[in-house]
Amino acid sequence: MHRWSQLFIPTLREAPADAEVASHKFLVRAGYIRQLAAGIYSYLFLGNRSFNKIMAIVREEMDKIGQEFYLPALHPRELWEASGRWSLIGENMFRLKDRKGADLCLGFTHEEVMTEIARKELRSYKQLPQIWYQIQTKFRDEPRPKSGLLRVRQFIMKDSYSFDIDAAGLDASYLKHRQAYKNIFDRCGLKYMVIEAHSGAMGGSQSEEFMVRTPAGEDQIVSCEKCDYAANMEKAISRLEPVSDLAAEGDGKPLLVHTPGMKTIEEVAKFLGVAPNNKIKTLAYVMEEKDKKSGKASTRPVIALMRGDHQLNETKLLTALAGKQTRLMQEEEIVQLFKSPAGFLGPLGVEWASNTNEADKPILLVDSALKGRTNLISGANKEDYHLKNVTPGRDFQPSAYADLRSVSAGEPCPKCGAPLRIDTAVEIGHIFKLGYKYSESMGARVLDKNGKEVIPIMGSYGIGIERILTAAVEQSNDENGFSLPLQIAPFDIVVTPTNVSDEKIRSAAENLACRLLEKGYDVLLDDRDERPGVKFKDADLVGIPFRVNVGKKVTDDTVEVVRRSTREIQDVSIAAIIEYFEQNLRPAR
RNA sequence: CGGGGAGUGGCUCAGCCUGGUAGAGCACCUGGUUCGGGACCAGGGGGUCGGAGGUUCAAAUCCUCUCUCCCCGACCA
């Protein structure tokens, strides 16, 4: 029997001054966690119990599709050099040296270790498919840990990796995970969304994220108010409302107009009496490339054209450039390329690469929203001048058209046309088809049916354990604390005798708690010699879903059952209490 | 890394401007009265004022350096 009086549950009346988001404040106040350093937390009794319940659910569902491993947290440098990520990851990786001076790192993730095992051990297609998972600590030296457990430097992650002989196999492994994840998050009692995700510049064909809406989140997600369309900002698209082109002026060819001092889209549009969507926005970036052989760094201009009222999404730009990093162009570089100061830039008068692979010439990427438009206004590459009658494809040739635009709230859903909404959310899980990235670079090979050597195809799938608890708290808090879903709460029921010095009350509570315990419920008996108000406040704070108040009504053989989530109070006779929970609690577990 | 804020008892904070050797509330310990939504009375314990250096007869307070934490931004396989 867990007796509150003997336990360490350090609840606080006030939140620590440095806590900002609800889950951080309440998890500290409720005695679940304590901070040790920036982004590093100790999990105390209640927190640990909750995490154990979450991990038990994850294990049960993962065991249906895969096998659990336990892997090292310390990795040798060589392992990470094999995949190329020792230098790629940079400062986000915790690195250390052993006594001999050899370089090690703390496990940032486990693709490398898993692939190393696969490389050494997998020989034949007959051994495939494999799904291996682990629930372990990851270390990331985040530049800015924040929001309590939401962004930390040490955290528990369930990650799994699938190895298949071909793409069809990967599809199957991916779908197995998708289903397992739904089972897990459903059982954890979370309201979540599955959204299309940007799969990263490093290959990967399909990717979805499991997101929980909360203002505490760091990600922006786009979803449809009517249908099931949902995607993250880097991936989201929308239908465009039709816009009207301007009529051609003069002979219809690009026409120079004087626009003194008009630099912004708004200024020019207003000055010329046109809508911003008739304007071309010209954004200048620089792509920095390294020659693979010589190692020499070189730069190459990348110009992105957007509709005047649209925003460029830099991740989409990155995708359009096959993962090559860009930075904004400096003023001197702009003048060098365009012979004009910023504010009057446009696509005419510069010789562009005919496609994105053609070297040496600047790349001109044009957002798809400009495709088919005519008689637009662009900068003239001449101070204080713009051009009218600019028509893409006629007056200039893009290197490529691409989707570069960030979706805005209210735009029509690409599937059904209903308005899209944008919310902040927390990512609790991510599944994606990795492809051959690690198996190829690290040299994993198996023989297929024909005795031919093939590279196994991989998938990678993660769940943030702490984020499940955090998201649950974010979803269910009120002014008194939070209310955890039954499945992940540290206890099912707290039994609260209102006065332990009243022998009748004390023994009735004791008795009742024992009976519930025997039935297999997780029961916490609040046997502290405290006033009722203190106990009620604490019980509300720590989020246990059910509370049984044992008070004066014991003389009538009656107790009260209080549901934390709804505040609903019900009198139940002591004789019927087991029956009550068998009906109201058991089915939810 | 850029910008902003904060380090004073376990927690929340006052004191700092204008130097004189540390306070409040909560928490904790003892005794008593209480006992259905964070009780009351009496007594008590606990702080090298983040650290180092400097100025001064004297530094929580002024100056310099440094460490840590939080927030915004950048970043985020």
How confident is residue A200, by pLDDT bands cut at 50, 70 and 90?
Answer: low
pLDDT score for A496: 97
A455-470 burial, b at 16+ Cβ within 10 Å, e below that, comes to bbbbbbbbbbbbbbbb
ipTM of the complex: 0.94
> Looking at residue A405, what DSSP letter applies?
B
Instruction: Please report how many Cα atoms fall inside a 13 Å half-sphere around the Cα of residue A156, on the Cβ side.
Output: 20
Q: Which nucleotide is nearest to A39 (CA to C1')?
A: B69
A355 φ/ψ sector (left φ>0, alpha ψ -120 to 50, else beta) = beta
What whole-number distance in Å separates Cα of residue A160 and Cα of residue A180?
12
Of A154, A156, A174, nearest to A164 by C-alpha is A174
The residue type found at A135 is I
Mean pLDDT of chain A: 92
What whole-number distance in Å separates Cα of residue A149 and Cα of residue A140?
13
Q: Which nucleotide is nearest to A29 (CA to C1')?
A: B11
Average pLDDT of span A494-517 = 96
Q: Are A252 and A389 in contact (CB under 8 A)?
A: yes
What whole-number distance in Å separates Cα of residue A119 and Cα of residue A444?
4
Alpha helices in A331-484 (DSSP H): 331-338, 437-441, 465-475
CA of A13 to C1' of B14 (A): 19
pLDDT at A292 over 70: no
CA of A10 to C1' of B46 (A): 19
CA of A498 to C1' of B54 (A): 60
How confident is residue A356, by pLDDT bands cut at 50, 70 and 90?
Answer: confident
Q: Which nucleotide is nearest to A157 (CA to C1')?
A: B77
CA of A30 to C1' of B15 (A): 31
pLDDT score for A297: 67
Which residues 6+ apart lie within 8 Å of A325 measured at CB? Answer: A287, A288, A318
Architecture of domain A491-588: 3-Layer(aba) Sandwich (3.40)
Average pLDDT of span A221-239 = 91
pLDDT score for A313: 87
**Nearest residue to B13, CA vs C1'?**
A17
In this structure, what token pair is assigned to residue A249?
Answer: 């002026």
* Helix A22-29 and helix A465-475, axial crossing angle in degrees, nearest 10: 100
Which residues 6+ apart lie within 8 Å of A260 measured at CB? Answer: A384
Residue with tokens 């110009």: A303
Q: Which nucleotide is nearest to A159 (CA to C1')?
A: B77
Average pLDDT of span A212-241 = 90
CATH 3.40.640.10 given to domain A17-72+108-236+422-473? no
What whole-number distance in Å separates Cα of residue A27 and Cα of residue A25?
6
Residue-wise DSSP of A195-243: EE----SS--S-EEEEEEE-TT--EEEEEESSSS-EEETTT--------
**Nearest residue to B37, CA vs C1'?**
A533
In this structure, what token pair is assigned to residue A548?
Answer: 């049984």
How confident is residue A589, by pLDDT bands cut at 50, 70 and 90?
Answer: confident
How confident is residue A205, by pLDDT bands cut at 50, 70 and 90?
Answer: confident
CA of A200 to C1' of B72 (A): 27
| A167 against A289, higher pLDDT | A167
**Nearest residue to B74, CA vs C1'?**
A143
Q: Which nucleotide is nearest to A552 (CA to C1')?
A: B36
How confident is residue A336, by pLDDT bands cut at 50, 70 and 90?
Answer: confident
CA of A513 to C1' of B1 (A): 56
pLDDT at A428 over 90: yes
In this structure, what token pair is assigned to residue A517?
Answer: 């315990």
> Looking at residue A409, what DSSP letter applies?
T
Chain B nucleotides near the protein (CB, 7 A) = 1, 5-6, 11-13, 25-27, 34-39, 68-77
pLDDT at A586 over 90: no
Residue-wise DSSP of A26-40: HHHHTTSEEEEETTE
CA A158 centroid distance within chain: 14
CATH 3.40.190.10 given to domain A255-402? no
pLDDT at A412 over 90: yes
Of the listed ranges A4-8, A268-272, A340-344, A482-486, the one predicted with least confidence: A340-344
How confident is residue A549, by pLDDT bands cut at 50, 70 and 90?
Answer: very high
CA of A467 to C1' of B17 (A): 45
Domains of chain A by residue range: 17-72+108-236+422-473, 255-402, 491-588
How confident is residue A141, by pLDDT bands cut at 50, 70 and 90?
Answer: very high
* Helix A465-475 and helix A45-63, axial crossing angle in degrees, nearest 10: 110
pLDDT score for A295: 60
Q: Are A353 and A362 in contact (CB under 8 A)?
A: yes
CA of A42 to C1' of B12 (A): 22
Average pLDDT of span A326-339 = 83
Of the listed ranges A5-9, A80-84, A88-92, A108-112, the one predicted with least confidence: A88-92
What whole-number distance in Å separates Cα of residue A56 and Cα of residue A350?
61
CA of A576 to C1' of B24 (A): 50
Report whether the peptide linkage leading into residue A129 is cis, meaning its omega lies within 30 degrees of zero.
yes
**Nearest residue to B75, CA vs C1'?**
A143
pLDDT at A201 over 60: no
pLDDT score for A203: 52
pLDDT at A202 over 60: no
Q: How many CB atoms lie within 10 A of CB A37?
A: 9
Q: What is the dihedral of CA A579, A583, A584, A587, to 10 degrees?
A: 140
Which residues 6+ apart lie within 8 Å of A205 measured at CB? Answer: A199, A433, A435
Average pLDDT of span A357-380 = 89
Residue with tokens 């930390």: A152
A44 φ/ψ sector (left φ>0, alpha ψ -120 to 50, else beta) = beta
Q: How many CB atoms lie within 10 A of CB A480?
A: 15
Q: Which nucleotide is nearest to A567 (CA to C1')?
A: B37
Best-predicted range by mean pLDDT (A156-165, A196-205, A310-319, A338-347): A156-165
**Nearest residue to B70, CA vs C1'?**
A18
What whole-number distance in Å separates Cα of residue A182 and Cα of residue A167?
22
Q: How many CB atoms lie within 10 A of CB A77?
A: 14
Backbone angles phi, psi at A196, to 5 degrees: -70, 135
CA of A491 to C1' of B31 (A): 36
In this structure, what token pair is assigned to residue A469?
Answer: 């608890």
pLDDT digits (tens, 9 = 90+) for A433-478: 999 989 999 999 999 999 999 999 999 999 999 999 999 999 999 9
**Nearest residue to B69, CA vs C1'?**
A38
Q: Which nucleotide is nearest to A549 (CA to C1')?
A: B36
Alpha helices in A339-420 (DSSP H): none
C-alpha distances out from residue A208 to A8, A113, A211, A215, A246, Å: 40, 23, 9, 21, 41
pLDDT at A4 over 70: yes
Beta bridge partners of A426: A212
β-strand A33-37 against A40-43: which pairing, if any?
Answer: antiparallel
What whole-number distance in Å separates Cα of residue A390 and Cα of residue A464?
50
pLDDT score for A204: 61
Q: What is the number of helices (H) and of strands (E) in chain A?
A: 14, 32
A443 φ/ψ sector (left φ>0, alpha ψ -120 to 50, else beta) = left
What whole-number distance in Å separates Cα of residue A315 and Cα of residue A87?
22
